[in-house]
A and B are shown apart, each in its own frame.
Chain A
Amino acid sequence: MFVTEKMRKVSLFFPSEDMTRFWDKLGRFGSLQPGELRRVEKLQSYLSFLDLGELSGKLREISGFLDVDLTSPIDNTETEALELLDLKARLDELAPAFAEVRGEMRTLRESQRNAERALDRLATHKAHLEMLAPLEVDIGALLHLERFSVMAGTLSKEKLDALDRSLQGVPHALLPYRTDRGWVQLLVICLNKDRAKTEKVLDSALFQHLDLPEDLHGSPHEALKGMEEQRVDLTRRLEELARRGKEIEEWKEEKRAELGDFLKMNASLLGAREGTGQTHAVAVASGWIPARQVEELDRLVKDEPTWVLEGKEVPYKNNRDEDGFTVPSKLRNPSFFRAFEGLVKLYGIPRYGGFDPTIIFSLTFIFMFGMMFGDLGHGAILFMAGLALRFWPRLRESLRRNGTILASVGASAMVFGVLYGSFFGYDNIIPALWFRPMTRINQLLMYAIFIGIGVILVGIFINITVKLMQRRYLEVIFERFGVLGLWFYLGALFMVYLYSKGSAFSIWLVFVLMFLPLLLMPLERPLAKRVKGGKQHASEEGETLLVTVLVTAVDLFETMIVYLSNSISFVRVAAFALNHVALSLAIFQLGAMLRTLPGGGVLYVLTVAGGNLMILLLEGGIVGIQALRLEFYEFFSKFFEAEGTMFQPFQFVFSKKEVDRA
């Protein structure tokens, strides 16, 4: 709680031939995050690493073909982890069958596409040939005369006369054989030598050629009969192809059930094996493990006489190990608060040894949401919806966690609803245990600012404590949200208090309480330089005195503004509480206006119900976002160093059903 878990950097030594068994055990143990030995330069000359890219490629190829999601849970805990040679042999054994089926699938799809294209083309030819139906002649012979070119097509009726005129210089014949509304279907006949010229003129008249098959013969009726036979053949062929496709899909389904777990488990193992260093006979794996689980790992290792575990604690002061890799952060919170970790992670992952604000965040978030959205009725709906999500069987874990959040904020809204005396926007149904927001607006605004001051002070205290734990003393004192910042903020609050009471105070008091800490803050840089004794930063070397003074002045001014704006920002807590009442009032006014119309009773109920739904969805969402905003910008900004990376252990994820059974 409050601080990320203490981690141990461990190294594990075991005989190379045990590698598969080792990672199988570690995968089931599920609490070690493998380190990146491959990237540690000093080990490169001692250790070799396996290159399993080819094997991994084969495995992924099969998984891809079977549509197996390698990250999804494994169903069978008994799934066997294969030795590399066995895995290779198994994949080689599977490969030919898969290659054959894949090839068949490809051919099948190509054939399907060709058949569909042929069917489309046939439909076009058929439609065009039907236009030639009035001509009882051998169309094939007509279109392939020895000395004449015959073109069949359609033309807008209005263009026929112009076309005839335009072809005056060319020996030709236009033979319309059918008219259909504004269109004429005709045969254009010209000498073969004039074909190109005629086609150009036909184009200018927007003549549309009929699309007919090359090998056409017989009368249109005969040709149409032949086409119908082709269509039946093609349709049958498509059906056969679809049937075969279905058979292949069934085969894939069968294989997926048979090989899915094997592929998932061995894909994870291949990745882990690649990161394991080896000498001639010994393999080395390193990684991070939560300190409290080292004993468990030790027991697991001691079961094997030839395996050795070495470990050392990683101090909180540094969030990087001796090889320069970031130590992962593992949050550890009671199960109720774990639901809120997702919201905290939206801002970032705390650095190793950094403060984990999940619990404080959860409490303040729930409190502020309730204060902004205080309504017994609306809160009860959120609460019940949250409970339903939390306890509905067979729902994903992430949805269950959202259910916990929803139920918590709903409960908080219910409590404030009782305090405000608000029930679905009505303020005359239940008594207000505290006060009704609209009756004491100024008081509510003041309370909101007090909450803000409280949250900011907690943020500063957390910052000071964490930095003290990390032994970053200069920052503890001089930072904007360190001791001097706290001195300034408390001083400013005290001055405001005196002013509000009408008490007299001297200029020296103002100087000591507010300006002295501000003037001391800039001393951090020269002191840090002196303590470290190192060289100045490159950008600071050329900095003139004037620039330093200006930067410092702007920095101090910003400090004052930040404290002021952060405190005032909390006014929104009260503003949204008032907004809730105002929105409800508006809906009731609208309902009252509609009540005077015919059927007003129904309209009133519909308006009030619809309005309440809108408040619940729209305002509820906005309030959630505003509470989150206050947390992120006014609270987290005081202490949160989101420089961490998430702890991601190597583990086989088994499906819940299987785990329960096991």
Chain B
Amino acid sequence: MSAYFLAKIHAKLSRMLRESDMEALADADVDSTIRQLQESSYGSFLSGQEVMERVSDQLRRGFIDDVSSLVYGLNGQDRILLLDVLSYYRVENLKTILRVQLHRLPAEDAKKHLFELPWDHVDFAHWLEVPGIEALIKDLPWEDYRTRLDAVHRQVGGKGTVFPYETELDAMYLQRLIHHCQQGKLDVRRVVKNRVLKEMLLWAYRMKGYGYTFPELVNILPDYRPLVPHDEMRHLIEDAEGWHGIARFFDPTLAQEMEKLDDLDLQVVGALFDRQLMQAVEQALIEAPLGMGIVVGYVYRKELELSQAIELVERIRAAQ
């Protein structure tokens, strides 16, 4: 990783919207919100003339453009790590396409939900038009996706449900990150582990809410054992009060907040994981200022910033 690239990341981190910026935006009207967002890293994507409906799309484009500049600045294992982190968006695109294909939804409506991922060098939109899931799978340029989705298709094709495909894609994405948790340096491990645990646990609890038992979830989730032992995972998911055990993954202050919860609130737990992530990035800045942990942390912080900004814009729009 070059010194120039790292300096760029540090500069980008300093340009991110702070909590105070967000609070100021929350009280502003539409025009001043857009004006303030223009002064942020999203500026080049907001001309100031936006129709409010398009602001969220533009913010998303700004985000993708920003992180894609990171992809091209890296090489070797670092690049592989970042691409695996960003494969989340590829998975989201494929899930959208599978839903359109399986439920025969209008392709035009779905197009605007697809992320344009310059690092993937594929036109996701054209897969909305291919004749059926088999053709889609055959056309995918990534062999592992082809093999795994083909296996799912052979087992459940014709049942008319998109769920098995989606879970397979999510599991693949998380499994890769778990692999990086095993192989990566400490700074990367901290950041990625936080993210994987957040995604996996929230997913498992949601599924439990839909009536899935722990043994069923074991078949759906990625192999979590490098991060959480099997028995502990069973306790976290299966036992009625097991979820309190999540506190173990937080630092003492956040763990205390977790313990204060009477009921499992997935939104609060998600927010605690995000705060833990911020701390992991801060820690990486101090302990490994030249490591990949900062890059990955920057992506996750940027995602967080994006989702907060979009939520804000949507809220202002709704109040208009």
Interface residues of A (CB under 8 A from B): 156, 158-159, 161-163, 165-170, 182-183, 197, 200-201, 203-208
Bound together, the chains give a CA A183 to CA B148 distance in angstroms of 11
Contact A161 B223 (CB under 8 A): yes
| B212 within 8 A of partner (CB) | yes
Contacts A169-B215, A201-B219, A204-B212 given; indicate if A182 touches B164 (C-beta within 8 A).
Answer: no
Q: Which residue of A lies closest to B156 (CB)?
A: A206
- Picked from B155, B212, B213, B218, the residue with its CB within 8 Å of the CB of A206 is B155
Contact B152 A167 (CB under 8 A): no
Contact A201 B151 (CB under 8 A): no
Contact A162 B219 (CB under 8 A): yes
| B216 within 8 A of partner (CB) | yes
Bound together, the chains give a CA A204 to CA B216 distance in angstroms of 5
Bound together, the chains give a CA A417 to CA B285 distance in angstroms of 89
**B interface size (C-beta, 8 A):** 19
Q: Which residue of A lies closest to B214 (CB)?
A: A166
| B220 within 8 A of partner (CB) | yes
| B147 within 8 A of partner (CB) | yes
Contact B155 A166 (CB under 8 A): no
Q: Which residue of B lies closest to A203 (CB)?
A: B216
| B317 within 8 A of partner (CB) | no
Contact A201 B216 (CB under 8 A): yes
Bound together, the chains give a CA A170 to CA B219 distance in angstroms of 15
A-B contacts, 9 of them at CB < 8 A, read A166-B217, A167-B215, A200-B216, A203-B216, A204-B212, A204-B215, A205-B219, A206-B152, A206-B155
Contacts A166-B215, A182-B147 given; indicate if A204 touches B155 (C-beta within 8 A).
Answer: no
Contact B155 A201 (CB under 8 A): no
Contact A166 B216 (CB under 8 A): yes
Bound together, the chains give a CA A161 to CA B218 distance in angstroms of 10
Contact A170 B215 (CB under 8 A): yes
B189-228 contacts to A, CB under 8 A, are 212-220, 223
Contacts A159-B219, A201-B215, A206-B155 given; indicate if A165 touches B230 (C-beta within 8 A).
Answer: yes
Contact A156 B223 (CB under 8 A): no
B32 CB to closest chain A CB (Å) equals 51
- Picked from A162, A168, A197, the residue with its CB within 8 Å of the CB of B223 is A162
Please give, as numbers and ranges, the residues of chain A lying within 8 Å of B156 by CB-CB distance: 206
Please give, as numbers and ranges, the residues of chain B lying within 8 Å of A161 by CB-CB distance: 223
Contacts A200-B213, A206-B156, A206-B164 given; indicate if A166 touches B151 (C-beta within 8 A).
Answer: no
B160 CB to closest chain A CB (Å) equals 15
Bound together, the chains give a CA A201 to CA B220 distance in angstroms of 10
B310 CB to closest chain A CB (Å) equals 34
Please give, as numbers and ranges, the residues of chain A lying within 8 Å of B220 by CB-CB distance: 204
A197 CB to closest chain B CB (Å) equals 8
Please give, as numbers and ranges, the residues of chain B lying within 8 Å of A170 by CB-CB distance: 215
Bound together, the chains give a CA A166 to CA B220 distance in angstroms of 10
Please give, as numbers and ranges, the residues of chain B lying within 8 Å of A197 by CB-CB distance: 215
Contact with A along B216-246 (1 / 0, CB 8 A): 1111100100000010000000000000000
B159 CB to closest chain A CB (Å) equals 10
Bound together, the chains give a CA A532 to CA B137 distance in angstroms of 80
Contact A165 B218 (CB under 8 A): yes
Contact B216 A156 (CB under 8 A): no
B154 CB to closest chain A CB (Å) equals 8
A24 CB to closest chain B CB (Å) equals 59
Q: Which residue of B lies closest to A163 (CB)?
A: B219
**Contacts beyond the supplied A166-B214, A201-B216: 8 A-B pairs with Cβ under 8 Å:** A156-B152, A166-B219, A168-B215, A169-B215, A200-B216, A201-B215, A206-B151, A208-B155
Q: Which residue of A lies closest to B175 (CB)?
A: A158
Contact B147 A204 (CB under 8 A): no
B158 CB to closest chain A CB (Å) equals 12
Bound together, the chains give a CA A467 to CA B2 distance in angstroms of 98
B156-177 contacts to A, CB under 8 A, are 156, 164
B16 CB to closest chain A CB (Å) equals 39
Q: Which residue of B lies closest to A159 (CB)?
A: B219
A534 CB to closest chain B CB (Å) equals 59
Contact B218 A166 (CB under 8 A): yes
- Which of B148, B216, B218 is packed against the most chain A CB atoms within 10 Å? B218
Please give, as numbers and ranges, the residues of chain B lying within 8 Å of A182 by CB-CB distance: 147, 151
Bound together, the chains give a CA A207 to CA B164 distance in angstroms of 12
Please give, as numbers and ranges, the residues of chain B lying within 8 Å of A183 by CB-CB distance: 151
B294 CB to closest chain A CB (Å) equals 33
Bound together, the chains give a CA A405 to CA B162 distance in angstroms of 60
Please give, as numbers and ranges, the residues of chain B lying within 8 Å of A168 by CB-CB distance: 215, 230
Bound together, the chains give a CA A430 to CA B148 distance in angstroms of 73
A163 CB to closest chain B CB (Å) equals 6
Please give, as numbers and ranges, the residues of chain A lying within 8 Å of B151 by CB-CB distance: 156, 158, 182-183, 206
- List the 7 closest A-B pairs by CB distance, nearest first: A166-B218, A204-B216, A205-B219, A206-B155, A166-B215, A204-B219, A156-B151
Please give, as numbers and ranges, the residues of chain B lying within 8 Å of A162 by CB-CB distance: 218-219, 223
Bound together, the chains give a CA A201 to CA B215 distance in angstroms of 6
Bound together, the chains give a CA A206 to CA B219 distance in angstroms of 9
Bound together, the chains give a CA A169 to CA B216 distance in angstroms of 12
Please give, as numbers and ranges, the residues of chain B lying within 8 Å of A159 by CB-CB distance: 219
Contact A156 B218 (CB under 8 A): no
A160 CB to closest chain B CB (Å) equals 10
Bound together, the chains give a CA A205 to CA B217 distance in angstroms of 9
Please give, as numbers and ranges, the residues of chain A lying within 8 Å of B223 by CB-CB distance: 161-162
Bound together, the chains give a CA A183 to CA B215 distance in angstroms of 21
Please give, as numbers and ranges, the residues of chain A lying within 8 Å of B155 by CB-CB distance: 156, 206-208
B225 CB to closest chain A CB (Å) equals 8
A375 CB to closest chain B CB (Å) equals 44
B314 CB to closest chain A CB (Å) equals 35
Bound together, the chains give a CA A219 to CA B151 distance in angstroms of 29
Q: Which residue of A lies closest to B218 (CB)?
A: A166
Bound together, the chains give a CA A188 to CA B215 distance in angstroms of 15
A157 CB to closest chain B CB (Å) equals 9
Bound together, the chains give a CA A64 to CA B216 distance in angstroms of 58
